[in-house]
Amino acid sequence: MDLSPDAAFTAQANGTAAMYDEAEADHEGFWARQARERISWSTDFEQTLDWSGAPFAKWFVGGELNVAYNCVDRHVEAGNGDRVAIHFEGEGGDTRTITYADLLAEVSKAANALESLGVATGDRVAVYMPMIPETVFTMLACARIGAPHSVIFGGFSAEALHTRIADAEAKVVVTTDGQWRRGKAAPLKAAVDAAIHHGDDASPVEKVLVVKRTDSEVEWDDDRDVWWHDLVDGQPDTHEAQPMDSEHPLFILYTSGTTGKPKGIFHTTGGYLTQAAYTNAVVHDVHPETDVYWCTADVGWVTGHSYIVYGPLANGATQVLYEGTPDTPHQGRWWEIVEKYKVSILYTAPTAIRTFMKWGAEIPAKFDMSSIRVLGSVGEPINPEAWLWYRKHVGHDTAPIVDTWWQTETGAIMISPLPGVTTLEPGSAQHPIPGISAEILDDDGNPFTEPEKVGYLVLTKPWPSMLRGIWGDPERYRETYWSRFGEKYYFAGDGAKYDDKGNIWLLGRVDDVMNVSGHRLSTAEIESALVSHPKVAEAAVVGASDDTTGQAVCAFVILRADAVEEADEPGEGGELVQELRNHVSQEIGPIAKPRQVMVVPELPKTRSGKIMRRLLRDVAENREVGDVTTLADSSVMSLIKEGMSGGS
C-alpha cells in the first residue's frame, strides 16, 4: 500500500515541508509569523515569548485581541457574512443554518445578555449544555466579554458539576432544560439545581440562564433562573468587542489527574487562538471557501473547544454541529450527515471507528461519501486495523488520515502527520508538527532514539497554546508537569517509542489515568467515589483493555464487615454490584460507570501498602497473573481469583 502523499493533494495543501525547516531555524520567529498572519490583533505584540517565569509562559506579550472578533466579526467585515458557519443537525432531525452574519448577531445578543446578568471581564461562567448552537454562542459571548468559561460535559453528574462550579467560583451557569439522548429527553437543569444546593456550602452562582431545548418540566427559582428566550432574544444584536491582553484567561477546563481532585486546566487568549487556528489549517487542511468540516467531539471536551469552536471559526470555516448519538435513529446517521452536507473533513475518535467496524462496512457503503478528502483521529492510539478500516470504508482508500496526539493541557495538536506532506504510517502519530519539539526519555531522563525501546514522551520547548497552569494551584502545575524530569521537560504522562523510520508511537498513559472511549478518567477519582458508598471499605480501580472503548473501568472492592453478611455471592453478579456501579455514575457521571465491579476479600499490596494495579489488570484482562514477589502477602492473588470464580 502506497501511503505517500498524492501530488494533487500536496499542490493544494496548507501545510508544507518547508515549515519544518522554518520552525527549526527560528522557533519564535515561526510562531510570531503564525500569530500575525492568522490572527487579527488590535495591538501588535512586542515580544513573542517570555519564558523568564518558566514553567509559566507568556506568549505574544503586549499584544491585544478579542477572540470572538477573530472568530466572527472579521469574517463578516471581510464580506463573508453569507458564508455558513454552522450547519446544525438536531438529533430529532431539526436543522438550523447559521451564517457568519447570523453568528455575529447571536453572539452579540448573548454577550449583551450576560452583561445584563452582571457578568464582567474576569468573571467565570459555567456552561453545562448539549451540542446545540446556543452552546457555541455562549462560549463566544464569554470570550467577547473576557469572562473565562468553564464548560462541563453534559455527561457529568450534579456532584461533579458542583465541584467544578465551586473551584472556578462561577457566577453564572448557562444550561438547558434537558438534552436529547436516543429520542428521550434527559434532564440537565435539575443537576444544576442540585449542584447549587449542595450540602451547606454557599454557592457562588448568582444566575442560571436556561435554554429551552426539550420542553421538559423544570423547577424554577424566580430570583435566580432566567429563560434564554426571555432574556437573550430581545437583546440588541450589536455589541462592541473589547480587546483583551494576549495572556487574559480564555477558559478553564477540568480534566482528571492522578489524584481524586480534577485539575482546572486554564488557557489564555493569543497563544491559544494562534495554535488552534494554525493546526486546524495545516493538520485538518481546512480551506474555508470550499470545505465542509465536521468534528464529532462534544464541546465539553478540549477537542470541541479547539476544533469546533475556536480553530475552525477563527479560520472562517463551514462546519457541521451534530447534537445526537451515532445510532439515532439508525446506525448510518453519521454517513447520512456526511452525504447530506458533503462533509469533506471528518475528525473523530478511534472508539467511534471501532464501533462502526462492529456494526459493519455495509452501513457506510449505503451512502455517498465521495466528498471526504481528509480524515482525523484523536483521543487515544488508533490501532492499525481501525486505521485501515477508516481509510477504506470512510476515506474510499485515498483520504489521508491524520492521527493527532495532544492533550487538554497542550490546548492544540502537537504530534501528527501533515496531510499532503507526510508519508503515513497506520497506528502512529508520527512527528511533532512544525513549531513543536518532543523527545522520548528513559527512566533516568536521558533522551534516546533507538527504535522499539519504550520511554516517556516529553515536550522540550514551550508552545503557544500550552496551559498556563492549574486554576488556583500553581504548585500542582509545577509538580505534575515539570518535576518528573526536571524543569527542562514537560512530562506528558504518556509512554512512547520510535520505530525504525523515526515515527513516534504513543503507547498510552504511564500514570493512574485511564482512557475510556477517549475520555480521561482518574483511577483515584473513581476509587474515592466507591469508598464514599457506605458498604465499601476499600477500592482499587484499573483500566483494562477493551475492544471498543480502548480501556474499560474495572473496580475491585472490599466490603465493610457489616455489608459482607448481606451481600450476595462474591464476584460480579447481583444487586450490590449494580448499586455500586450506579453510585459511581451518580458521583461522577455515566462515563465513569465501571464495566465490572468485583467484590474481593483482599487487595494486592506491596509491603509499603501500595496497591499493585498491574496484578489487578492481569485479572481484569483474564491473563496469567504476573510476578507477585513484591506483595506483602503473596497468597492474596489466589484468594482474589478463587473468590471471583463464583461470580460472573
Amino acid occupying residue 348: T
Compute the least distance from the CB of residue 463 to ligand WT7, in Å: 14
Spatial separation of the C-alpha atoms in residues 319 and 337, rounded to whole Å: 12
Pairing of strands 149-151, 125-128: parallel
Compute the least distance from the CB of residue 311 to ligand WT7, in Å: 12
Distances (CA, A) of 80 to 83, 95, 278, 309: 5, 22, 20, 18
Coil, helix or strand for 562? helix
Compute the least distance from the CB of residue 505 to ligand WT7, in Å: 9
Residues near ligand WT7 (CB under 6 A) are 255, 301-303, 378-381, 403-408, 429, 492-494, 506, 509, 515, 518, 520
**Apex CA 459: angle with CA 453 and CA 461, to 5°?**
140
Compute the least distance from the CB of residue 596 to ligand WT7, in Å: 22
247 vs 403 by CB, closer to ligand WT7: 403
Q: Which three cell numbers stand for residue 500?
A: 525504525
Compute the least distance from the CB of residue 377 to ligand WT7, in Å: 6
Cβ contacts of residue 408 below 8 Å, gap of 6+?
A: 253, 255, 265, 301, 302, 467, 520
255 vs 269 by CB, closer to ligand WT7: 255
323 vs 409 by CB, closer to ligand WT7: 409
Which residues line the annotated binding site for Mg(2+)? Answer: 531, 533, 536
Start-to-end CA distance of the chain, whole Å, equals 44
Compute the least distance from the CB of residue 283 to ligand WT7, in Å: 11
Among residues 132, 179, 183, which one has the least CA distance to residue 154?
Answer: 179
Spatial separation of the C-alpha atoms in residues 254 and 242, rounded to whole Å: 27
Among residues 319, 308, 367, 307, which one has the least CA distance to residue 343?
Answer: 319
**Apex CA 518: angle with CA 513 and CA 524, to 5°?**
20
Spatial separation of the C-alpha atoms in residues 567 and 395, rounded to whole Å: 51
Compute the least distance from the CB of residue 263 to ligand WT7, in Å: 10
506 vs 603 by CB, closer to ligand WT7: 506
90 vs 395 by CB, closer to ligand WT7: 395
Q: Which three cell numbers stand for residue 184?
A: 428521550
Which residues line the annotated binding site for CoA? Answer: 181-184, 303, 517
Spatial separation of the C-alpha atoms in residues 25 and 18, rounded to whole Å: 11
34 vs 306 by CB, closer to ligand WT7: 306
Q: Which helix (H) or strand (E) holds 90?
A: none
Q: Please tell me the number of Cα atoms within 13 Å of 48 on its side-chain side.
A: 15
Compute the least distance from the CB of residue 349 to ligand WT7, in Å: 8
302-313 CB burial, b ≥16 within 10 A, e <16: bbbbbbbbbbbb
133 vs 381 by CB, closer to ligand WT7: 381
295 vs 530 by CB, closer to ligand WT7: 295
163 vs 255 by CB, closer to ligand WT7: 255
Compute the least distance from the CB of residue 626 to ligand WT7, in Å: 23
Q: Burial, 12: exposed, middle or buried (Cβ in 10 Å; 0-12, 13-18, 19+)?
A: exposed
Which residues line the annotated binding site? Answer: 181-184, 303, 379-381, 403-408, 494, 509, 517, 520, 531, 533, 536
Spatial separation of the C-alpha atoms in residues 446 and 485, rounded to whole Å: 9
